[in-house]
Amino acid sequence: MAHLCATVQKVYSANRKQKQQQAGDAGSSDSRNPRMKVISSSGGNAGLAVTTVARNIPEMDVSVVVPETTKAMVIEKLRSLGAEVTVHGENWNSADILARKWVEEAKEDIGGGAVYVSPYDNPLLWTGHSTVVDEIITQLSESPSSANMKIGAMLASVGGGGLICGILEGIERNYYGENESRASIVRGSKVVACETEGASSFAASFNASSASKEISMVRLDSIDSVATSLGALEVTSAAIQRAHRHQERGEDGGGDDVLSYVCTDAEAIDACTKFATEHRMLIEPACGAALAPLYSERLRSKLLQELQGDENRAIVVEVCGGSGVNLDLLAGWKSQFLAGDAS
C-alpha cells in the first residue's frame, strides 16, 4: 500500500503540473498548491492501511468510504488516524460506487482533484503482497529445522482477491526464477482460497470458470456472513485468471493446484477462538476462514487428503489478522455461533 500511495502521489503531481501549464498557455493561471486527496473504499482494513501510509506522505489527505457493516471501533480508528470517514451502503460495493463517484466529480478541478485507491484491485498491491512468498521461501531455505522442506499448501482468505493475486504472483515469479533451489520450494504447491458461506465470491467465479473452461465471473446478490471484511460481491478477474494459470502448471503431474474451501460462519469463529487460545492473538472472522481448514475436522480431513504423500511439505497460513475484533466481539460471536460447543 505504501508503494501504491507513493506512486499515486508522483503521477498525481505530474498530471497536476501539466494541467497548470496548459492553463497558463491558455492565458489563465492558478498558483494554488493544494493538498492531494486520496479516496478509497474499504470494509475497514484497507482503509486503515491507506490512512497509515498517508500520514507519512507530505500534503496527502485521505477520505475513506465504508459500508454500514463496518464496526464502530474500526471507524473510530480511521478517524483517529486522520481519515475523513463516510458510512454509505449495505456492502463494500455500494461504498465503492460512492468513492469512485467522488473521484470523477473532482477530476476537473485544476487546483486539486482526487485519486482513487482500490483496496484490492491494483497490480502494485498484488506485487506488494507477493513478497510474502519470497519471505517464506527464504525462511524455509535458511532454517535448519526445515531443510529440504517445500511449500505444500498456502492458505489465504479471499475478499476482493488482492491477497491471493499477490500469493499467486509470488509463486509464479519464483517458479520461473533463475534460482533453482528457490523455484523447487514452490513447485507443486497448492493455493487454498478460503471464504465463508455468504461471502464466497471467489468460489462462485472459480467454480463457474472451471466448469466452462474459460473465465466466467459471477457476482453475488448480497453478502450474508459474519466475515464482513470478505464482503466483495465479485472478486477481481485477475484472481481467477492467475488461479487457472497456476492450475495449468500442475496439469503435467507437478501437483500445482488451486483449491476453493468455503467454511461456515461457525467454523470461522471456532478457528478464531482456538487461535486466540493457542497463540494469544485476536483475529477477525475473515481471517478465521483461512484457519478453518486447520481447526475444522471436516475441512482438515479434506486438506490432508489433498496433500497425501507430501510429508516433507509445509502448510502455510496467511494469518491476516484484521482490526475489527476485540474480546467482547469475540465473546459475542462465540455465544452466537458456538452455543453449546465445549470448545
End-to-end Cα, the chain, rounded Å: 37
Is residue 178's pLDDT more than 60?
A: yes
Per residue in 14-30, pLDDT (tens digit) is: 555 655 555 555 555 45
State residue 293's pLDDT score: 98
| Nearest to 194, CA basis, from 263, 109, 99, 93 | 263
**In the beta sheet, which residues pair with residue 154?**
191, 316
CA dist 168 and 176 (Å) reads 12
| φ, ψ for residue 265, nearest 5 deg | -60, -40
In a 10 Å sphere around its CB, with 0-12 CB exposed, 13-18 middle and 19+ buried, how is residue 319 labelled? middle
Confidence of residue 258 (pLDDT cuts 50, 70, 90): very high
Nearest of 165, 189, 192, 201 to residue 302 by alpha carbon: 192
Position 98, amino acid: L
Which of the two residues, 205 and 342, has the higher pLDDT score? 205
- Average pLDDT over all residues of the chain: 89
Q: Are strands 150-157 and 190-196 parallel, antiparallel or unpaired?
A: parallel
Q: What is the pLDDT of residue 24?
A: 57
Confidence (pLDDT) at 1: 63
Model pLDDT, residue 309:
76
The dihedral over CA atoms of 106, 108, 114, 115, expressed in degrees to the nearest 10, equals 120
Other residues' Cβ atoms within 10 Å of the Cβ of residue 6:
15
Q: What is the DSSP string of 180-230?
A: HHHHHHHTT-EEEEEEETT--HHHHHHHHHHHHTS------S---SS-GGG
Task: Estimate the share of the chain in helix, then strand, then coil, as percent rounded to the nearest 5.
Answer: 50, 15, 35
pLDDT at 143: 82
Residue with cell 461457525: 266
Sequence letter at residue 119: P
